[in-house]
Amino acid sequence: MSARGERGRRRTRGQTALGKLPSTAAFDDGKRKSPLTLDERKLVLFLLVALADDRESLAETRRRLLDAYGARDGHWCAGKTKDALTRLLAKSLGQGATRPPPWERIVDIVEVAVPADRLPAVRAQAAALFARSVGQDRPVRGYDGPMAAPAWIEEPVVAVEMIRAGIDDVAGEPADREPARAGSRSLACAGGSGPPIPVARVPVGARGPADGGGGQPIPPHFVPEAREPRHPIDDPAALRQVLLSTSKTVCELADRIEALEASLRQEQTTNWQLRAENQRQRNLLEREFREKYSGVSLDTIRQLINEQLRAGFNPDPSSPRPLRG
């Protein structure tokens, strides 16, 4: 291999799959417009976020795919080298993707590359995104698995942070949290007081063994000796009042938690919308600068944008660098 080819190969390997895609708008790199539709971009970017390792690379995913399927006859990974698999995945996962992976391939990749604690959330959201990208209600005919549309699915621009937050929200939620809360509220909060608790009674004119009388009759004029108040657990009527008070407190706390969670979801949605709009505005600004200053590198343009943004908050901003096309 020539020195020039070796240098080009090193540069290509130094670029991560996710590093150049902060949002769905970044699939258009200025020189070419991506053939992917908006829904396909959302699916591809979602898969990249779910599969990328700590270095925002798919290297670990490729290794796991080769370990799991490389020796399986008839599989799409069978017999492929690491470089061959890299080129194959680049056609469907990355900035230069021309179409998303087929659903069967997505299942294979997700099953081996996503950690077990996040797998159900990623699989359910991937199913919803794939079904939307192909205009169907399910990813493939006969699919009966879970589907969970992400909260950002209707957004015009989706950022990486939005996808990560959505996966974390679904993966970090205990499976029995909502059913447990609904059940407790139905029992404790639906009727307020609940069914009456019967109070123990002693028949008139009878004495039980607990009173030390062995069943002897009680004279009508009998007056029992004064006793210390019993603990609420020994007094059904008092116990009932304690349980009702506790139930009321639980209902009030459940209502507060529900209101706080609704507020948090609204704040997250607003935050996602602001991030998406911010990214859209930056992309438009970068495009205008590239058209006006064709000889300036993209890194310089982005650095200039950052300097201008900081200058808006700094009371004594430094003079921004001039650009010469």
**pLDDT given at position 306:** 81
Confidence of residue 216 (pLDDT cuts 50, 70, 90): low
Structural contact between residues 62 and 82, judged by C-beta atoms closer than 8 angstroms? yes
In this structure, what token pair is assigned to residue 187? 């029992």
Confidence of residue 320 (pLDDT cuts 50, 70, 90): low
Nearest Cα neighbor of 93 from 75, 73, 113 is: 113
Cα separation of 296 and 303, whole Å? 11
Confidence of residue 299 (pLDDT cuts 50, 70, 90): confident
- Mean pLDDT is lowest, of 65-69, 121-125, 194-198, 216-220, for 194-198
Find where tokens 């930056």 sit: 282
Q: Is the pLDDT of residue 7 over 60?
A: no
| pTM to 2 decimal places | 0.54
Confidence of residue 104 (pLDDT cuts 50, 70, 90): very high
Find where tokens 């600004």 sit: 285
**pLDDT given at position 53:** 83
Task: Write out pLDDT tens, residues 86-97.
Answer: 999 989 998 889
Q: Is the pLDDT of residue 251 over 50?
A: yes
Cα separation of 199 and 230, whole Å? 14
Domain chopping of the chain, boundaries = 15-171, 175-189+232-283, 293-325
Mean pLDDT of the chain: 76
DSSP letter (8 states) at residue 27: G
**pLDDT given at position 226:** 54
Q: Is the pLDDT of residue 231 over 90?
A: no
In this structure, what token pair is assigned to residue 306? 């950052």
- N-to-C CA span, the chain: 36
